[in-house]
Structure formats: C-alpha cells, structure tokens
Amino acid sequence: MDKSAFPDPTFVISGPMHASRRHDSAHKHVTGTADYIDDLPEPSGLLHGALGLSDRAHAEIVGMDLSEVAATPGVVWVFTGKDVPGINDVSSNGSHDEPLLAETKVEFHQQPIFAVIAETRDIARRAARKAKIEYRDLAHWSDIDGALENGGALVTSPMTLSRGEAKSEMANAARRLKGRMRIGGQEHFYLEGQIAMAIPGEDDEVTVWSSTQHPSEIQHIVGHVLNIPSNAVTVNVRRMGGGFGGKETQGNQFAALAAIAAKKLKRSIKFRPDRDEDMAATGKRHDFMVDYEVGFDEEGRIHAVDATYAARCGFSSDLSGPVTDRALFHADSSYFYPHVHLTSKPLKTHTVSNTAFRGFGGPQGMLGAERFIEEIAYAVGKDPLDIRKLNFYGKPGSGRTLTPYHQEVEDSILERIVGELEESADYQARRREIIEFNRDSRYIKKGIALTPVKFGISFTLTAFNQAGALVHVYQDGSIHLNHGGTEMGQGLYTKVAQVLADSFQIDIEHVKITATTTGKVPNTSATAASSGTDLNGMAAYDAARQIKERLVAFAAEKWDVPVSEIAFLPNRVRVGNQEIPFPDFIRQAYFARVQLSAAGFYKTPKIHWDRAAGKGTPFYYYSYGASCTEVSIDTLTGEYLIDRTDILHDVGRSLNPAIDIGQVEGAFVQGMGWLTTEELWWDAKGRLRTHAPSTYKIPLASDRPKIFNVKLAEWSENAEHTIGRSKAVGEPPFMLAISVLEALSMAVASVADYKVCPRLDAPATPERVLMAVERMKAVG
Amino acid sequence: MNDSIRFILNGEDVALKDVKPTETLLDFLRLKRRLTGTKEGCAEGDCGACTVLVGRLIDGKLHYESVNACIRFIGSLNATHVVTVEHLAAKDGTLHPVQQAMVDCHGSQCGFCTPGFVMSMYGLWLSNSNPDRAEIEKALQGNLCRCTGYEPIVKAAEQVARTRPSALFDPLERTRSDIVARLWAMQGSGTISITSGEDRLLVPGSLEALARILADEPKATIVAGSTDVGLWVTKQMRALNPVVFINHLQELQTITSGEGGITIGAGVTYTRAFETIASKVPTLGRLITRIGGEQVRNMGTIGGNIANGSPIGDSPPPLIALGATVKLRSTEGTRMLRLEDYFIDYGRQDRRPGEFVESLFVPYPAEDTHFAVYKITKRRDEDITAVLGAFYLTLDEQGDVNDVRIAFGGMAGTPKRARAVENELIGRPWNEETIEAVRDAFDTDFQPLSDWRATAEYRQLTAKNLLTRFYLETTGAPAELRRFEEVA
C-alpha cells in the first residue's frame, strides 16, 4: 500500500469507540449507490418468481388447475409443494407446522400455494393470477375473540410466571380492579421488501443472496427444502433496507423458493414479492388481549397482579413462543409486584403467522403494566407518575428487587433517569398548566405523561447468545472485517468497525466492512434482540485481541523489548523507543510469518433460564429510559397532535452517540406509529384489507413530535463488562412511545375530570380517541 | 417524429419507439437503464422511494417537480427532463449539498428510502430558497422512512437551506438554458401514436385531436396524472388499451381567477392550482396540502379527481358546496353542468362516450358567506379520506340561515349533499341550539359503511360534529388542531 494512505501519525484515530461517526454507507445511501439485492448485477439468464396465493382464509384444497398459468408465454416452470425435493416446510423452530407451499389445506388468506418462474417478473405475476383452485371452506377466525370462542387452540405451549401468592393475596388487597386491554399488532413496513436471489453452483451447491437478519437460518432452511447439507449452501447479505424483526424468519420462504427453482432449472432465480403480497404473506407484531386483576393499597402501591396475555399468533408457531414469553418477562414494566401470576395464551388464528418485531412481545407486556398504573392512579386520584414512582423496583437490599421470573434487578438507574427527565422537561409545571388549560378549553384538551422503560437484554434462549467474527490483517496493513451480524440500517457494521479501529488504533478508513456470509462465520444467531453490537462487537474484539497478542509476542522477540514497552498508538506501533507506522510493522510481521488472521468468538456470561420452572437469570443486564409527551386532542373528531416529547435514554457508554440517538428517535416514532395510526384490519372473510401504504399508515415527518428533545444519559455506564461498557439500543427505545398513548389517555380523561380511567386501547386512532371521549361523556 | 416518445434522461436524449402504454418510468429506469438508485417501495405512489424529478416547460419556463416514478407512465414523458439521484453528485464524487446535508445530519439509516428523500429535498431546494418547517414537512409528505423518525432528515433540509451554495454547484441550474432549448425542440405539434404489440398509446397534439381520438376510441383510457390509473396497472394488473395521455396539453393547463370565480383546466395539477386557490379560498388551499404527498400533487389533477368519480375523492364535496360547474367537451362541442349533477351513482358519472372533462368553474364564496372544508383521516397527511365535510353558509340580517350547502365525501357511494340537514337549517337562527337540533337529520341523509378507514358509527358521529366545528369557526372560536398555522 502507498504509505501516503497512512499520513503522519496523529494523536487520535478517526472512528474510535465512543465517537459519533456517520453510518459507513451514508455516502452510498445518498447517491443511490448502496446496493440492495434487487440492485445487484443480475447473472445472465436470471428468471423471476412470483407467488400463487390462496383466496380463502381456511379451506381444503380440493382441486388445482395450473395449466393456464403454465401455458402463459414466458413462463418456465410452475411448482407446488409436491415439487419440493426435501421437506416442504419453512418453520423456523423445527416444529414442521409451516409448509412452504400449502398442499391440502390453506390456513390464511394469501397463503402461498404454488410458485411461478418466468422470464420477467411481470409475466410471472400476471400468470400467477390465472390459477383455478377449488376449495372446500372451513370455519375460520381471524382474531383473539374468535380463537377463544372456538376452543382457544394454541400454536405452542404457554408459559406461567409466578411468585408469591397472587390468587390468595388478591383478596387481602385494600382495593382491587379488573379490566381488559386490547393491543393491536403492527406491520414492519421495512422500506425494502422481502427478496432473495439464488445462484446455482456445481454439485449440490447453491448461493443465496437474501434480505435476512438471520443468514444461518436461511442456510439451514434452504438445505432442508433441497435435502442437501448446510455446507452446500452459502447465504450472503450486505445490507437490508430495514428489518425490525420482519426479516428474522420471514425471508425463509422466498429464499427456499428461489433455491428450489435455481437447482431445478440451473438458472439464477430472483424472488421479490410486491408490497401487497409482502404485507399479506409475511407475519407481523402480535396483537394482544390482556385480562388483568390488580390489587393495591389506598396509596396506590401494588400488592398483587394476576393477568393473562392472549396473543393472535396466526396459523403456525414461528416465534410466537418466545414472543409471548417476552411479553410476560416485561409484564412488570419497571414495577415490583409482591405477588404475581402471569400466563400467556399463544392462540391459533387463521391469519398469517405473526413473528418478531422490535421489542418482541416486550412492548405489549409493558403496555399492559402501564394500564395497571393508570387504573390505580385514577382509582386513588393521583398523577400516574406518582403511582409509577411508588412502585419502581427498589435498591438492592430493599426487598423490592425480585422480578416475576426470579431475577434480581441490581442495576436500576430509573430513579435518576426519571428524576432528571422530570426536571428537564419541566413536567410538574406543565402538568399543572395543562389541567388549567383543560378546565377552560371546551373542545380541545391536552394531556401529558412521563413513562419509564426497563428492558431486559439477551436472547431468552441461552444458546443464541453467541457470536463469531473473522478478521484478516493484510500485508499492507488494511483490515478486512467480517462477523455474523447483519446490517439493516442500525449501524452495526459501523460500530463493529469502530471496535476494530480502536483495538488496532488505526483510522477506521482502513477497516473494510464486508457482507455477512455463512461461509466466513458459521452458526450465527439472528441479528435480533438488540444484541447485534453486544455479541458481534465482542467477537471482533476477541479476534483483534488474538492478532494483537501474536503481534506483541513477535515484536518483543524481534526487537528484544519487554512486552510492557509495546503499545498500539494511533496508526503506529511503539516498540521500545521507536515508533513504527502500522503498515510497516505489519509487513515485518508478515515476513516473520506471524498469522495475521483470527476467528473471534463470544458468548454472554452469567445467563441461564429454566422455562418450565419459570426461574432464572434470562437477562445479562437491563437498558433504561424515560420519555415525556404532551398531546392535544380534538374531542369533536378524535384527531390529535403530538406537541412535544422529551426523552432521556440509557445506552450505557455509547459506542457512537450519533447512531444511538438515531436509534432512539427512530424507535420512538415507530412505537408511536404502533400506538396511534397503524391499524391492521381484517374483513369478515379473513382478508387483510390494510396491505399497502395507501391503507396502512405509518408515521410521516409531520407526525413526529413538533418539539422533540432527545438525550442520552451520558453518565451511564453498563455495570456489566460489555463492549466499551455500552448497552443495547435497538429495541428498548421503542417503548418510550408508551408516553404518547398515556398522554392521549390523560387528555381523554379530562372530559370526566380525571375520575375514570379511559381504558384507551391501542392503536389510539382518532376513532378510538373519539369513542373514548364519548365513554367519558357518558360517565362524566 | 410522431412515432416516438422523446425526453432527456439526466444528460442524455432518449427516443423510444416501442413503448407499452402502461410501461412505468420506474421499470424503465431500473430494468432497462440499470439506474438502480431509484427504488421500488410500494408501487402505488405512497412511499416515495422512487422519487425522481421531472422538468417540463410551462409557459416557456422550465419547472422541475418531484414525481413517483412507480406510477408514472413513459407515455406521459414526452418533452420532459427526467432527473434521477445518479445525476446529483459531481463527476469527481463530490456530493450535492442536499446529499451532504443528509450525511452530516445522519439522515439515513437503512438507506433504502434515502434516494427518494434526497430527490424530494432537491425538488424543494430548487423551488424554495428558504423553506420553513411547515414547508419542509409538506415537501416530505410523500416520503416514508421507517428508521430515523424523520428528525435528522428535517434537520438536513433546514441545514441545506441555511448554507445555500452558489447555483453553479447545481447540475440543473448549470444546464438550464441548454435543457430548455432541447425540450423546446422535442415539443411537436402533431399526435404521437405508438403501437407496441397489440397495445397502442396516443399523445394528442391538441385539444381538438384529443376530441377526435376519443370520438374514434370512446373506450380509451384517458390518463392525466396517473395517480389513480397507475395503480390499476401496478396493483390490479389491468390491461389498458388504448391509452391517451393528456397531461402535456397546454390548452388544459390554464388556471385563471376571473371576476366571479376560478377556471381550472382539467390538466392543472394540485400543485399548480394551489397558489390561486389558496389565495382565494384558503380553506380549500389547506385541503390541497392534505391530498396525497407532494409527488402526487405534482402529478394529480383536480380534473382527474372529478372525472374518475370516486366516492372518496377530496375535491368534489367542497366544489359541490361552492356550486362549481364542470365543462365537458367532445367533437360535438361543449356542455356545462353542475358538478353535483355529474355524479350519478357509485361508479357512474354523467359523461357521454367521447366526452372528456375540459375545465371546472369554481365560484368564489361571496363576502358575507362562510365556507369551510374538513378532512378526517387516520393519519393527518397523505391519507385517504374517512370523512370529508364541506360547508357553505349565508345568513340573513337576523342571523338566520339563508342559504346552506353541505356536501360530504366518504359517507355514501358518491360525493353527496346533506339535503335533510340543509332543509332543517334553512330559516333557523344560526346558534348552538339549532346545531343540536339538526344533528338527527344526518341519519336521514347518510347511512355510511364500516371499513378499514372508519366504522359507520365514527363516520356518522364525526359528520355531525363537523357541523359543530363549522358553527364554532363561524363564531370565531378556535376549533381545529393545526400543527402549523398556515402552510404557504
């Protein structure tokens, strides 16, 4: 390498840990040169696939005539489940309850039944509509009520968390309340839809480019449907245009279909569903119905909680088990329940199988807890914030630190976070002003709420908490970085590159970030559960450590200096009294035959979980945060505005404050969408009618809080030994949006002088707000 | 000359002789030209990932507007300049200031929506040297981002406005006169007719030619902005043949505010109509800013919104309440009819074979009248109407209702007058008691449906409450939430 690329040694490198740094692909994003899978140069002879979808919600398939589809000019192959060489199943959890292509029975509207391969995507899509399929309809239900009315079949085994004597102690509480909360689902609406491109290789080999958060699972599924071993399958992904959990398991079907056709036809195959098909045929966030009973004292201190969490899971199990588990893990939000009994009900419905989505059940669990708080607050006539503070987990030794799953909360910084936010947002004065405003304003009402976040970090399936990285240092001193995490916009690649730059003390420009591939790092976990940086950052750190140890040993021997006199300084290495530019140092190491490549590995310590017993330490640590939101509502129409939001969020010692603030802001607005305008709507035939942005409304720029103050808790440091003492940031800030729903609720409650809990369900569309106002008018 | 569609793509002249009438600009860019910076996010004009600029000559001046390439047909591009994200950065890789601001402000995360945002911001940057927050948000209404929460993107738009560099930096400012000359040369006067396989597209050279074409081909699909027809193709995969493009016809592009009202040519887009309408009827101007996103408003026409007869079109109710008339034309000549009478039933309009909408006449509300229009949606901006109410009122000297016209969208199979409510109101004093007393009459006028946008119950209740809002506003009481006081 030209040494001018390593200019004069500087005192600091560019892109160290803890520095704000632009996203590694920012220049490519803004110029349109960042390649997503549909942008990659197409192999010659590439064919395109399209799905043939069911138009019934639940029916037996009694006849299928695909001759017109096959006869369409340009169509090369039409195939069904019978043509799958291996197992016709794409279930992510091995339960074999999710056929790739339905053969005898369909269990949701728009379930894939066959696939068409054609010369162009347009031909394939048009041909798919020519199928003649005969059905015998079966009884179907789309929602939780329907599932319960029809026997309440489950897609996977439920979980119970229990501590103390919730049932008997409920009777001993001074006051008791029963209620029900309905919580809507959410479409991911990643801007880049699902896509896969399969390129056949020799023998049984196949390479798949997939927009996936979980390359190893795609590899496994492709092997499984083709009946070939994993070593024949290579899965690549450079970046996704958004994931949010929607590409953790939902890419399986497209990759599997593309791979089957690629091997059969010996041509490259691309599968890219249209937005409507993507929304209809891939899973979403689970809707929940929480039935609760809460016992508390006259002060508002919780004594006992007994609650059931019923979830719309769709037709198969997918990730519904761990999602409903995580709902229970977060059913305490930030509060200590002396006696508690929580049960999940993962219900089967004739809808697409619901799946992972940022927060993974946690938001629904927490939202239920904040409803309990509201109920208590209106019952005892206090500000909900006072009730929150009264029920926060206590300090170690207070006897108020044990969660419903028997893990101690030892690292809580909530009191400080909430206290600082209360102060900086001027909560108390503004709340007083709002109450005054509401007294005089006849139709426009305001509300304010300050809500906390405590979110447990780690996969609850312990085995997933491992990661690998592969780092090469080349002779010219440039570094090649690969790890098992995937980039979906969250800045993971940038952060891990910072870890390497920092470890070797070289400018980040010398670290080449490469596409995630199963060929370099095997057996990876999904980039999910907010764990990407914690796991992969540590794995890369471990690889760097190994190489550095070899380099230090080499230098100590060659220049005959003690190890203590060798240091990696910015873009150079000090060996005794001399400073050697990094590339020169590396070249010498190469000639001394030092291995300049290492595979790093990391597994999260301390955690364990016994699901059957409902006991353990599923989380390595907790992330915290708080938000305060003010809203205005129009009591004539239910329309509202988010006037202001203040956020103070904990990411430990931030690896990259600019990226972390981006995650916090983005998560908040996405959470706000979930709780306000994003509504999934199925008709009586079980058809999802909100299947495109024309009918499904995610927030716009003009929906974000008009005043939006976002800060990181700069003083925070992870108590656990994580990479740079940072904390996970992907999911926790999503739940900061709960303050929006609570603020809307307060505005509604003003109509009945804050005497009745409005029981505002989610999403709080203008319609739900207006109907809640009407209920308040009726009781007030 | 008249057998091809000719336009400029970034720097290059393009002439296409074989064009399917339903071929979209997005597919052309991505599949035929491998210009993959422009993305497909929804293929229905709602997400903005496919945003490009289209420059066209209006009265001899070159205007660039953001559009959705996914629902823009190639046939509508004759004599235009198509600008994609690939055209912005300098040859040496130096980013355009709009792009640099997005990088500096951390405005991209996954990056998939980013080229679209860059193009929308670029369109704003070209047309408005000092946009305020309201104008920025309005310019970005047609762009969805799922990662950032928009804050850094809005900050980027503010930053680039503050640090506006010299015009020489900009690829479109630099080439403006050259592009004008080239577009001028591409504008022919004859009709373009292209046959592709069994399909045919026609680009008439004049209004007369259009009338003749429609007389010969009464089943032809007329396409102006394609903000609705585009979805017939991308979503319903309908075959349209033949297709007649009218968006370029200068004769349909005029908007004039005369003595008694505004005459709007059928080809005038929402964006072009906005200024004239907002200055004369502010409440209607505000409504326009809530129709679609900026790209849709740059393509869609009020004429098309009327012509397609949708029950949830946003312009018909206020235009009916204002007493607008529509002018229809064919080879037989022209005829005028009240807009209200144009809508016969769901999916049926009083438009005879061979006829097309030529223009609308919208009378100004008189000085002593009250007029307001309210749109209720799940999401405030870029959403389709759940309920839309338009109210027109004159009071006599005693303060009794003298004349009233109330029209609603989303409440029936067509845009519809609330006749029973109006009848109840006539002659009564305009006060709260009256408003209360006439509420029940809405039940006579409307039996709305439940769907994903709203339940029947909500629609009915909101319709009644909007009359209350209208009453409050006539008394000067603040009654509507507004994020910004006015959007200029």
Burial class (CB in 10 A: 0-12, 13-18, 19+), A439: exposed
Min Cα separation A313/chain B (Å) = 21
Residue A115: strand pairing partners: A51, A79
Element (H, E) at A574: strand A572-575
Are B151 and A710 inside 8 Å of each other by CB?
yes
Tell me the DSSP string of A365-391. HHHHHHHHHHHHHHHHT--HHHHHHHH
Min Cα separation A568/chain B (Å) = 30
Residue B79 and residue B192 in contact, taking contact as beta carbons nearer than 8 Å: no
Residue A136 and residue A71 in contact, taking contact as beta carbons nearer than 8 Å: no
Min Cα separation A84/chain B (Å) = 29
Judged by CB atoms within 8 Å, which residues 618-647 of A form the interface with B? Answer: 632-634, 636-641
Q: Is the dihedral of CA A149, A166, A367, A533 positive or negative?
A: negative
Instruction: Quote the DSSP letter at residue A41.
Output: P
Separation between Cα atoms, residue B29 and residue A74, nearest integer Å: 22
pLDDT at B410: 95
Q: Does B22 touch chain A (CB under 8 A)?
A: no
Longest distance between any two alpha carbons in chain A, whole Å: 87
Task: Name the residue in chain A with its Cα closest to that of B101.
Answer: A30
Instruction: Quote the DSSP letter at residue A359.
Output: T
Are B144 and A693 inside 8 Å of each other by CB?
yes
Is pLDDT of A42 > 60?
yes
Residues whose CB is less than 8 angstroms from the CB of residue B341 and which lie 6 or more positions away in sequence, other chains included = B350
**Residue of B379, B450, B464, B465 to mutate, interface with A, max A Cβ within 10 Å:** B379
Give the tens place of pLDDT for each residue, A238-290.
999 999 999 999 999 999 999 999 999 999 999 999 999 999 999 999 999 99
pLDDT at A5: 47
pLDDT at A11: 79
Residues of B in contact with A701 (CB under 8 A): 136-137, 140-141, 143, 145, 150, 153-154
**Within 13 A of A574's CA, how many CA atoms are on the CB side?**
11
Instruction: Quote the DSSP letter at residue A533.
Output: I
Amino acid letter at B206? S
Min Cα separation B42/chain A (Å) = 5
Min Cα separation B327/chain A (Å) = 31
Is pLDDT of A439 > 50?
yes
- The two tokens of residue A640 are 């509202």
Separation between Cα atoms, residue B386 and residue B378, nearest integer Å: 7
Residue B54: strand pairing partners: B65, B82
- The two tokens of residue A119 are 């010369």
Side by side, the strands of the sheet bearing B12-16 are B12-16, B5-9, B81-83, B51-58, B61-68
More confident residue, A154 or B485: A154
**Within 13 A of A331's CA, how many CA atoms are on the CB side?**
35
Q: Does B88 touch chain A (CB under 8 A)?
A: yes
Residues of B in contact with A668 (CB under 8 A): 149
Residues of A in contact with B118 (CB under 8 A): 30, 32
Residues of B in contact with A694 (CB under 8 A): 42, 44, 46, 231, 384
Domain positions in chain A: 3-31+466-603, 46-139+194-272, 288-460+610-779
Query: Can you point out the beta strands (E) in A274-392?
Result: 288-296, 302-312, 339-347
Q: Does B473 touch chain A (CB under 8 A)?
A: no
pLDDT at A10: 63
Specify the pairing of strand B221-223 against strand B243-245.
Answer: parallel
Compute the average pLDDT of residues A532-543. Answer: 98
Residues of B in contact with A657 (CB under 8 A): none
Separation between Cα atoms, residue A31 and residue A27, nearest integer Å: 6
Structure confidence at residue A459 as a pLDDT band (50, 70, 90): very high
Are B110 and A31 inside 8 Å of each other by CB?
no
Residue A372: strand pairing partners: none
Are A30 and B102 inside 8 Å of each other by CB?
yes
Is pLDDT of A31 > 50?
yes
pLDDT at A8: 55
Instruction: Quote the DSSP letter at residue A82.
Output: G
Average pLDDT, chain A: 97
**Residue of B46, B146, B439, B455 to mutate, interface with A, max A Cβ within 10 Å:** B146
Tell me the DSSP string of B181-226. HHHHHH--SS-EEEEETTEEEEE-SSHHHHHHHHHH-TTPEEESS-
Residue A685 and residue A110 in contact, taking contact as beta carbons nearer than 8 Å: no
Task: Name the residue in chain B with its Cα closest to that of A658.
Answer: B106
Are B102 and A36 inside 8 Å of each other by CB?
no
Residue B422 and residue B445 in contact, taking contact as beta carbons nearer than 8 Å: no
Residues of B in contact with A193 (CB under 8 A): 41
Separation between Cα atoms, residue A247 and residue A36, nearest integer Å: 14
Separation between Cα atoms, residue B124 and residue B219, nearest integer Å: 38
Separation between Cα atoms, residue A233 and residue A201, nearest integer Å: 9
Torsion of CA A576, A581, A582, A583, to 10 degrees: -130
Domain A3-31+466-603 has CATH 3.30.365.10: yes
Active site residue A731: yes
> Domains along chain B?
5-86+176-245 (3.10.20.30), 97-169 (1.10.150.120), 250-363 (3.30.465.10), 369-474 (3.30.390.50)
Are B36 and A35 inside 8 Å of each other by CB?
yes
Min Cα separation A634/chain B (Å) = 7
Residue A369 and residue A340 in contact, taking contact as beta carbons nearer than 8 Å: no
Separation between Cα atoms, residue A412 and residue A621, nearest integer Å: 9
**Residue of A23, A24, A31 to mutate, interface with B, max B Cβ within 10 Å:** A31
Instruction: Quote the DSSP letter at residue A392.
Output: B
Residues whose CB is less than 8 angstroms from the CB of residue A616 and which lie 6 or more positions away in sequence, other chains included = A405, A406, A407, A607, A608, A609, A610
Q: Give the Cβ contact number of residue A105 at 10 Å.
A: 17
* Residue position matching structure tokens 């500000």: A383
Longest distance between any two alpha carbons in chain B, whole Å: 73
- The two tokens of residue A222 are 């492709």
In the set A436, A731, A742, A767, the catalytic residue is: A731
Judged by CB atoms within 8 Å, which residues 179-238 of B form the interface with A? Answer: 231, 234-235, 237
What's the CATH superfamily of A46-139+194-272? Answer: Aldehyde oxidase/xanthine dehydrogenase, a/b hammerhead (3.90.1170.50)
Q: Is the dihedral of CA A513, A519, A522, A523 positive or negative?
A: positive
Min Cα separation B34/chain A (Å) = 8
Residue A152 and residue A347 in contact, taking contact as beta carbons nearer than 8 Å: yes
Residues whose CB is less than 8 angstroms from the CB of residue A766 and which lie 6 or more positions away in sequence, other chains included = A637, A638, A639, A640, B376, B377, B378
Q: What share of chain A is helix, strand, coil (3-state, %, to 5)?
A: 35, 25, 40
Structure confidence at residue A528 as a pLDDT band (50, 70, 90): very high
Measured CA angle at A27 (ends B92, B165), to 5 deg: 65
- The two tokens of residue A639 are 């329309």
Class assignment of domain A288-460+610-779? alpha beta
Structure confidence at residue A9 as a pLDDT band (50, 70, 90): low
Separation between Cα atoms, residue B264 and residue B272, nearest integer Å: 10
Compute the average pLDDT of residues A438-457. Answer: 97
Min Cα separation B319/chain A (Å) = 23
Residues whose CB is less than 8 angstroms from the CB of residue A168 and which lie 6 or more positions away in sequence, other chains included = none
Cis check for the bond before B242: say yes or no (omega within 30 of 0): yes
Element (H, E) at B118: helix B114-127
Give the tens place of pLDDT for each residue, A52-80.
999 999 999 999 999 999 999 999 999 99
Burial class (CB in 10 A: 0-12, 13-18, 19+), A747: buried
Identify the segments of chain B with pLDDT beneath 50.
Answer: 487-488
Separation between Cα atoms, residue A151 and residue A141, nearest integer Å: 11
Is pLDDT of A14 > 80?
yes
Q: Does B112 touch chain A (CB under 8 A)?
A: yes
Residues of B in contact with A669 (CB under 8 A): 148-150
| Number of residues that this document lists for chain A | 780
Is pLDDT of A4 > 50?
no
Separation between Cα atoms, residue A543 and residue B61, nearest integer Å: 61
Q: Does B478 touch chain A (CB under 8 A)?
A: yes
Across the interface, of B38, B151, B384, the residue whose CB is closest to A694 is B384
- The two tokens of residue B304 are 């098309």
Q: Give the Cβ contact number of residue A213 at 10 Å.
A: 29
**Residue of A30, A284, A644 to mutate, interface with B, max B Cβ within 10 Å:** A30
Specify the pairing of strand A302-312 against strand A339-347.
Answer: parallel
Is pLDDT of A6 > 80?
no
Are B115 and A489 inside 8 Å of each other by CB?
no
Residue A281 and residue A53 in contact, taking contact as beta carbons nearer than 8 Å: yes
| Three-state DSSP state, A328 | helix
Tell me the DSSP string of A645-657. EEEEE--BS-S-H
Are A690 and B452 inside 8 Å of each other by CB?
yes
Min Cα separation A685/chain B (Å) = 13
Across the interface, of A488, A634, A770, the residue whose CB is closest to B110 is A488
Compute the average pLDDT of residues A81-109. Answer: 96
pLDDT at B444: 98
Judged by CB atoms within 8 Å, which residues 359-388 of B form the interface with A? Answer: 374, 376-384, 386
Q: Give the Cβ contact number of residue A104 at 10 Å.
A: 9
Compute the average pLDDT of residues A635-657. Answer: 98
Across the interface, of B144, B145, B458, the residue whose CB is closest to A767 is B458
Are B462 and A637 inside 8 Å of each other by CB?
yes
Q: Does A710 touch chain B (CB under 8 A)?
A: yes
Compute the average pLDDT of residues A487-509. Answer: 98
pLDDT at A1: 42
Element (H, E) at B406: strand B401-409
Residue B183 and residue B55 in contact, taking contact as beta carbons nearer than 8 Å: yes
Separation between Cα atoms, residue B209 and residue B380, nearest integer Å: 41
**Within 13 A of A608's CA, how many CA atoms are on the CB side?**
5
Q: Which of these, B26, B38, B53, lies nearest to B123 by C-alpha position?
A: B53
Please determine whether the domains at A3-31+466-603 and A288-460+610-779 fall in the same fold group of CATH.
yes
Q: In Å, how far are A351, A526, A726 from A485, measured between CA atoms? A: 31, 7, 17
pLDDT at B488: 41
